[in-house]
Structure 1
Amino acid sequence: METVTLMVKGTKKEYPKGSTYFEISKDMQPKYENDIILVLENGRLRELSNEAKDNVKVEFITTAHPDGFKTYCRGMIMMLVKSIYHIVGQEKIEKVSMEHSLGAGFYGTIQGDVAVTQKLLDEVADWMRKLVEADYPFKKYTIHTSQARKKFHDYRMYDKEKLFRYRRTSATNIYNLDGFEDYYFGYMPASTGVLKYFQLYEHEGGFILQLPTKKNPKEVPPFVPMEKLFQTLRVATEWGKTLGIENVGSLNDVIAEGDISDLMLVQEALQEKKIGEIAEQIAKQRDKKFIMIAGPSSSGKTTFSHRLSIQLRTFGLKPHPIAVDDYFVNREDTPLNEDGTYNFECLEAIDVEQFNKDMMALLNGETVELPTFNFKTGKREYKGRYKKLGKDDILVIEGIHGLNDKLSYSLPSKSKFKIYISALTALNVDEHNQISTSDARLIRRMVRDARTRGTSASSTIAMWKSVRAGEEKYIFPFQESADVMFNSALIYELAVLKQYAEPILFGINEDDPSYMEAKRILKFLDYFVGVNSEDVPKNSIIREFIGNSYFHV
């Protein structure tokens, strides 16, 4: 019998030629704490359904790995959509949409002759568990893109049909799950047997598909409504519907028809209107002296702060920017991570006592000399920046810990107005494939870092995991405490960023650890028709990343 030899965890293993990685993973599963869902073959991600090659180094990927977890989510969504069609009946359904992520889950809707109730969702969940028990395979096959368009037209998946109109490749991969066919961006599980952990909840006229987390991939946390975040995302979705753009295909239509400049103006006007509403809300509360702004990396906090300040001035207020970063402790006093690197993201990296002392003095009408942190020397410096608050003066404070009351513990709650800002894109690839807000921010940051710091795309990708870990710990837990949430995502931005991101991503070599992630992002950007940036307004948040902004950002 012919065999193939694999190197798994430093040990040579032989298996019959023709064995799939899925079959081999069953042999290896006892050596892994969590469920195996993908495989690394000589450092390249592969689906378990692939046939094992001879003389390769293999590492199995579980649901606790970021790529494995994303694969789990995609497989779960396809199994959910199939089950909804089975329980409700295809003839009653116009569209099943997975609209956006929400905490540990996804929010979706069902359009058609159906009411989403918990009873219906319980029936869907029961059918999903039957599919898990039956362990149906996800079968992948390739067809011509024109055939895929026709197929999805017949299935009434019109978002996908429109998306493939702009697909440059001639072939498309389709997944078949027990007769139900769909398209997904990214790797899929080998079978439904791994998709064991989920719950379904009725929520706001739609449903929540609640899933485990990467930290605990075998445990589904309870669903905790996040009303402020949900409503902000809902507004973004309504904006898309108002503009007639809910998916990438619709955006590409606008670009192809030459109407992108008008879209830019309308989108920017909608954002400016929202900033003006926030300023008006603040102006009506004259006891607010500290505008605390926080949000994850590449949310556009700096440009937002400038634009908010301009709007505040229209109400007779005198805003003054304060960067919490200027209160960093001196470099030698900065806490360290486990690997010995500086931890600039923890609260202990800030001189909280001095910050509170200065802010309270300002609140009490005293004159205060504010510091400036010298990032080259790692020292806090004083250069005669004196500040005193008059009756119309207001401080606009931007920093990672702005929503955490431990940063501003001495300031009266009534003196603070908290704003959470993030790029919460409501634009989706199609009905069942979302655009990750993390991906959108990563692309923003790659473009900005390459322009302003000379940082390679590879370096930005490499540090993104630690950035995300800091956000999970220091920002996201406080987002619901904000008085207002501002969504900085622009519906057209990825079409603009595409022309800046692609060259630096193509510069990553195959032997670079960031190559696979770069390849994934390039494939994602390929969905978009590119747009020239010359019509992007000079005060746009996207200018913070591509350059030529009216503001010094």
Structure 2
Amino acid sequence: MTEQTEKMIEDDNQITLTLRDGSKHVINKGEHLIELAKKLEKDNELPYLCARVNNDIYALDYAPEHDCNIEFLDYRSPYGCDCYKRSLSFVLARAILELYRNARLTIDHSIGNGYYYDLFTDVPVSERTLNYIKTKMDEIINKNESFGKKTLSRSEAIALFNKEGYPEKARLLKNLNTDKVGVVSCWKYIDLDFGVMVPSTGYLKTFDLKQYAQGFVLLFPDSKDPSIASQPRRQPKIFQAYRESKAWGKILEVNNVGRLNEIIKDGSVSDFIKTAEALHSKKIQAIADQISSHPSIRIVLIAGPSSSGKTTFSKRLCTTLKVNGLRPVALSLDNYFLDRQYTPRDENGDYDFESIYALDLPLFNTHLSELLEGKVAQIPEFDFHTGRRRDETMPMRINDDQIIIIEGIHGLNDELTSSVPANNKFKIYISALTQLVIDDYNRIGTTDTRLIRRTVRDSKYRGYSAEETINRWASVRRGEEHNIFPFQECADTVFNSAVPYEWAILRPVAEPLFLDIQPESPCYYQARQILRLLSFFTPLAPKEVPPTSILREFIGGSSFQY
């Protein structure tokens, strides 16, 4: 064998990995990423949890087959954080299985930087119980056991989950349109494969368990200092909205995706949709009654994150207030933007239109005071093409039976309406607080619901691709974290705009949009994760969705004018 031939064989057995900083590392074909990760993490503050390979996310046991671009991810990365949370949630479920063979653990929703769980056992949840569970989790973590993954046929997976006592997982798989199912295991606990896991349990040393209401919260590492667990955050109003949603689930007799798929298959979904929409109407009526019963309330402020359905909710609330004898009138914050030259800029030097200081707060508060005093206010008109206020104004005056409706991201921030006494204001927080879980151990995040809503709406009404919407999403989320979420608990009431059937309606519309995103796109992994979640839902035609539904704001066919 010649030296040149030997060199060619050697090259065929080696792979070049290009890191984000441009440095190159050569590994042997078949070598797992974890070996290089352990070498490189000596210079990193935190251990690496997973890796971005080109535009996909892989576990560190992945062995690349070709030259590729690599970025190792720790807890500070959104994908590393998700990987940690997914893996730690798995360890919790395994600990419960070891300690309480006949107990039922159910995940519910996020609260602060943690997940809320209910634990159904003969013994109520207490600090002693949680210390017992935490000790078992520490034991599992200290064993540093690996997570095993394998692919089964759908029938094999259904039989396995039924045998192991997880009928809700088996039920979920019955309607899955695929022949292959990924499962993950550690010790005797098995679950469906919902994404990348950390290499072994030893990576999950930072967490805590805290009692909350009748259940408890699994707390993840602090986002600013991942070496310590987050502190529990009390959110009584948001929590009450979640509890209300869970109660609705019992009324509707649908509490997970598998059960929803069953009623779609058996044809009873029409009544289910009608009942879900009636519950929305009942809640809106209760809010309208609350407002009407306090004559001092003259201003209603509605705020919530992107794609929460604020506009449709506002219109439905106005209709219901009219039934109660009030005459609502809208006041648009868009007309109170400062001229472009006075707009504040963000840390990148770009105009920050989402800042509360992009609004003319003194003028806005002057006009609110004038309106509440029965005076005529000269409302400005803002021209978004020129970035300036027009010379013309619109005179506005309200009567005693009229109430001002203001919709905007800053509605819960008292700085927006500093001139208005508290007893004259009623603040509503609205968001799509998803109530359906995939199964007892796996949830769907509110962020995922809102992203799908926005993607469908952007495609239908703005001509944006799913890739364009996802590219903007990180910026949207940063604005929400700064301008909306800190003020959630300032609301007088919370409205959950999610309807439990919406993913089934959204699937046939959203699926092709996300399928358009190719492996070359930086959004590829995020699109695949959304598609994975959508695949669990049986598609449903929108013919039963009423024209006044909040969902119509995104899929079209609303009877409201926007």
Superposed, 1:320-469 pairs within 5 Å as 320-381=329-390, 384-469=393-478
* Distance in 1 of aligned mates of 2:184 and 2:132: 24
Partner of 1:500: 509
Cα separation, partners in 2 of 1:325 and 1:182, compared to 1, 3 Å = same
Partner of 1:75: 87
Alignment check: 8 A CA contact 2:381 2:393 kept: no
- Which of 61, 67, 71 in structure 2 is aligned with 1:59? 71
Following TM superposition, by how much is the alpha carbon of 1:382 offset from its aligned partner in structure 2, in angstroms?
6.2
Partner of 1:477: 486
Following TM superposition, by how much is the alpha carbon of 1:404 offset from its aligned partner in structure 2, in angstroms?
0.4
Superposed, 1:144-159 pairs within 5 Å as 144-159=153-168
Partner of 1:523: 532
* Distance in 2 of aligned mates of 1:512 and 1:43: 6
* Distance in 1 of aligned mates of 2:172 and 2:507: 17
Following TM superposition, by how much is the alpha carbon of 1:421 offset from its aligned partner in structure 2, in angstroms?
0.4
Unaligned runs of 5+ in 2: 1-9
CA deviation profile, 1:474-507 (whole Å, cap 9, x unmatched): 1011101111000000111111111221222222
Once the two structures are overlaid, the 10-residue window that deviates more, 498-507 or 118-127, is 498-507
- Which of 42, 45, 56 in structure 2 is aligned with 1:33? 45
* Distance in 1 of aligned mates of 2:351 and 2:539: 39
Cα separation, partners in 2 of 1:461 and 1:378, compared to 1, 3 Å = same
Partner of 1:202: 211
Alignment check: 8 A CA contact 2:143 2:202 kept: yes
Q: Structure 1: which amino acid aligns with 2:61? A: S
* Distance in 1 of aligned mates of 2:113 and 2:126: 21
Following TM superposition, by how much is the alpha carbon of 1:263 offset from its aligned partner in structure 2, in angstroms?
1.2
Q: Over aligned residue pairs, what C-alpha RMSD do you find?
A: 1.7
Task: Report the 3-state secondary structure (helix = DSSP H, G, I; strand = E; otherwise coil) of the residue aligned with 1:429.
Answer: strand
* Distance in 2 of aligned mates of 1:173 and 1:65: 25
Alignment check: 8 A CA contact 1:74 1:184 kept: no
Partner of 2:4: none
Partner of 1:220: 229
Alignment check: 8 A CA contact 1:249 1:429 kept: yes
Partner of 2:99: 87
CA deviation profile, 1:345-402 (whole Å, cap 9, x unmatched): 1111111111101001111111112233332332233655322121111001111000
- Which of 103, 112, 117 in structure 2 is aligned with 1:108? 117
Task: Report the 3-state secondary structure (helix = DSSP H, G, I; strand = E; otherwise coil) of the residue aligned with 1:115.
Answer: coil
Q: Structure 1: which amino acid aligns with 2:422? A: S
Alignment check: 8 A CA contact 2:56 2:524 kept: no
Once the two structures are overlaid, the 10-residue window that deviates more, 2-11 or 140-149, is 2-11
Following TM superposition, by how much is the alpha carbon of 1:17 offset from its aligned partner in structure 2, in angstroms?
4.6
Q: Structure 2: which amino acid aligns with 1:6? A: L
CA deviation profile, 1:412-452 (whole Å, cap 9, x unmatched): 11100010000001101111111110010011111111111
Unaligned runs of 5+ in 1: none
* Distance in 2 of aligned mates of 1:186 and 1:491: 23
| Counterpart check, 1:540 vs 2:530 | no
Following TM superposition, by how much is the alpha carbon of 1:540 offset from its aligned partner in structure 2, in angstroms?
0.6
Cα separation, partners in 2 of 1:350 and 1:384, compared to 1, 3 Å = closer
Alignment check: 8 A CA contact 1:201 1:209 kept: yes
Alignment check: 8 A CA contact 1:184 1:432 kept: no
Sequence identity percentage:
39
Alignment check: 8 A CA contact 1:100 1:107 kept: yes
Q: Structure 1: which amino acid aligns with 2:478? A: A
* Distance in 1 of aligned mates of 2:449 and 2:340: 31
The TM-score, its normalising length taken from structure 2, stands at 0.95
Once the two structures are overlaid, the 10-residue window that deviates more, 506-515 or 460-469, is 506-515
* Distance in 2 of aligned mates of 1:62 and 1:277: 46
- Which of 168, 174, 182 in structure 2 is aligned with 1:165? 174
Following TM superposition, by how much is the alpha carbon of 1:43 offset from its aligned partner in structure 2, in angstroms?
3.0
Following TM superposition, by how much is the alpha carbon of 1:128 offset from its aligned partner in structure 2, in angstroms?
1.2
| Counterpart check, 1:43 vs 2:27 | no
Q: Structure 1: which amino acid aligns with 2:99? A: I
* Distance in 2 of aligned mates of 1:516 and 1:343: 29
CA deviation profile, 1:235-264 (whole Å, cap 9, x unmatched): 111111211111111111111111222111
Following TM superposition, by how much is the alpha carbon of 1:16 offset from its aligned partner in structure 2, in angstroms?
4.9
Alignment check: 8 A CA contact 1:291 1:394 kept: yes
Superposed, 1:265-304 pairs within 5 Å as 265-304=274-313
- Which of 12, 25, 43 in structure 2 is aligned with 1:13? 25
* Distance in 1 of aligned mates of 2:391 and 2:318: 24
* Distance in 1 of aligned mates of 2:389 and 2:267: 51
Q: Structure 2: which amino acid aligns with 1:71? A: C
* Distance in 2 of aligned mates of 1:544 and 1:229: 23
| Counterpart check, 1:22 vs 2:34 | yes
* Distance in 1 of aligned mates of 2:25 and 2:188: 35
Cα separation, partners in 2 of 1:218 and 1:113, compared to 1, 3 Å = same
CA deviation profile, 1:326-357 (whole Å, cap 9, x unmatched): 21112232222223322111111111111101
Once the two structures are overlaid, the 10-residue window that deviates more, 489-498 or 179-188, is 179-188
CA deviation profile, 1:53-103 (whole Å, cap 9, x unmatched): 453332111111111111111001000111112122x1x21x211111111
* Distance in 2 of aligned mates of 1:406 and 1:74: 38
The TM-score, its normalising length taken from structure 1, stands at 0.96
* Distance in 1 of aligned mates of 2:67 and 2:82: 28
Alignment check: 8 A CA contact 1:141 1:175 kept: yes
Alignment check: 8 A CA contact 1:419 1:483 kept: yes
Alignment check: 8 A CA contact 1:369 1:382 kept: no
* Distance in 2 of aligned mates of 1:237 and 1:197: 30
Once the two structures are overlaid, the 10-residue window that deviates more, 495-504 or 356-365, is 495-504
Following TM superposition, by how much is the alpha carbon of 1:24 offset from its aligned partner in structure 2, in angstroms?
2.4
* Distance in 1 of aligned mates of 2:452 and 2:334: 24
Task: Report the 3-state secondary structure (helix = DSSP H, G, I; strand = E; otherwise coil) of the residue aligned with 1:172.
Answer: strand
| Counterpart check, 1:512 vs 2:528 | no
Once the two structures are overlaid, the 10-residue window that deviates more, 213-222 or 400-409, is 213-222
Following TM superposition, by how much is the alpha carbon of 1:291 offset from its aligned partner in structure 2, in angstroms?
0.3
* Distance in 2 of aligned mates of 1:217 and 1:309: 45
Partner of 1:248: 257
- Which of 233, 239, 256 in structure 1 is aligned with 2:248? 239
Following TM superposition, by how much is the alpha carbon of 1:3 offset from its aligned partner in structure 2, in angstroms?
5.2
Alignment check: 8 A CA contact 1:184 1:433 kept: no
| Counterpart check, 1:122 vs 2:134 | no
Matched residue pairs, number?
A: 550
Once the two structures are overlaid, the 10-residue window that deviates more, 487-496 or 213-222, is 213-222
Following TM superposition, by how much is the alpha carbon of 1:4 offset from its aligned partner in structure 2, in angstroms?
4.4
Task: Report the 3-state secondary structure (helix = DSSP H, G, I; strand = E; otherwise coil) of the residue aligned with 1:151.
Answer: helix
Alignment check: 8 A CA contact 1:65 1:214 kept: no
Once the two structures are overlaid, the 10-residue window that deviates more, 366-375 or 292-301, is 366-375
Following TM superposition, by how much is the alpha carbon of 1:215 offset from its aligned partner in structure 2, in angstroms?
4.2
Alignment check: 8 A CA contact 2:55 2:520 kept: no
Partner of 1:258: 267
